[in-house]
């Protein structure tokens, strides 16, 4: 049920019971425990109670646990669509996410932060580059959120870009219809427009 909520959407206990393959009453017991442990939060709207992950830290922990739970010799067994591109809470994961991260590093748009481990800073070239893509970097910098950092991808075993900047990139690709999001799963689809745009703007051949 927790992994179902990794796409950032809220779902009812009935929907999560179906996902978990358990009865609604059993799902309610588990969800109450998860809520007590501050792993999920609930919003009441009319007769319905909608559950979602308690925050980005929970999503990051789930992604990390997926890596830890993998085989010692990694052989990807993720469904092809999910492995190609998916959401990791609010940023792009999968092959597309990993390739974007690598490309930003290769272009030297991102550099390791000098004052904080496991974090990135945007270079002068990156400032121009991200702006040319249509990202307002100043608006992306939020006081209580990490700006940019690598998140280990559980299907690729390489990092994709997380943080406020990663979220802004996901929203940009959805807004411009470079990626299309499934209504009922974490899967993302690369559109023909997205394939052309990423090739023209970033030199990525996907």
Give me the pLDDT at residue 79, please. Answer: 56
How far apart CA 158 and CA 129 sit, in angstroms, is 23
Query: What pLDDT does residue 61 have?
Result: 86
pLDDT tens-place values along the chain, 206 residues long: 888 888 777 888 888 988 888 898 999 999 999 999 999 999 887 777 889 999 888 888 887 787 776 544 444 445 567 788 999 888 999 999 999 999 999 999 999 998 887 899 999 999 999 999 999 999 999 888 899 999 888 788 789 999 999 999 999 999 999 999 887 778 899 999 999 999 999 999 88
Residue 139 exposure: Cα atoms within 13 Å on the Cβ side: 8
The domains found in the chain, sorted by start residue, are 3-54 (1.10.10.10), 57-202 (no CATH)
Is 63 within 8 Å of 154 (Cβ atoms)? yes
**What's the confidence (pLDDT) of residue 73?**
46
Q: What is the pLDDT of residue 9?
A: 77
Which pLDDT score, from 0 to 100, does residue 97 have?
95
Sequence-distant (≥ 6) Cβ neighbours of residue 150 within 8 angstroms: 101, 118, 120, 159, 160, 161, 162
Tokens of 138: 């100043």
CA–CA gap between residue 150 and residue 6 (Å, rounded): 17
Note the pLDDT of residue 70: 59
Q: How far apart are CA 169 and CA 93, in angstroms?
A: 11
């Amino acid at each position: 049920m927790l992994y179902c909520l990794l796409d950032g959407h809220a779902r009812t206990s009935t929907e999560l019971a179906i996902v978990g393959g358990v009865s609604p009453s059993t799902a309610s017991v588990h969800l109450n425990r998860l809520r007590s442990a501050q792993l999920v939060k609930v919003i009441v709207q009319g007769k319905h109670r909608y559950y979602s992950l308690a925050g980005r830290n929970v999503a990051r922990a789930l992604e990390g646990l997926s890596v830890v739970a993998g085989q010692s010799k990694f052989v990807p067994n993720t469904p092809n669509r999910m492995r190609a591109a998916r959401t990791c809470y609010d940023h792009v994961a999968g092959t597309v996410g990993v390739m974007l991260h690598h490309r930003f590093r290769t272009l030297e748009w991102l550099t390791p932060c000098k004052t904080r481990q496991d974090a990135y800073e945007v270079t002068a070239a990156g400032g121009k580059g991200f702006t040319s893509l249509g990202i307002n970097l100043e608006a992306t910098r939020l006081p209580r959120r990490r700006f940019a950092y690598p998140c280990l991808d559980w299907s690729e075993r390489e990092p994709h870009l997380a943080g406020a900047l990663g979220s802004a990139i996901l929203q940009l690709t959805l807004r411009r219809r470079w990626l299309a999001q499934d209504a009922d799963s974490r899967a993302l689809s690369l559109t023909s427009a997205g394939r052309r745009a990423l090739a023209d703007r970033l030199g990525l051949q996907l």
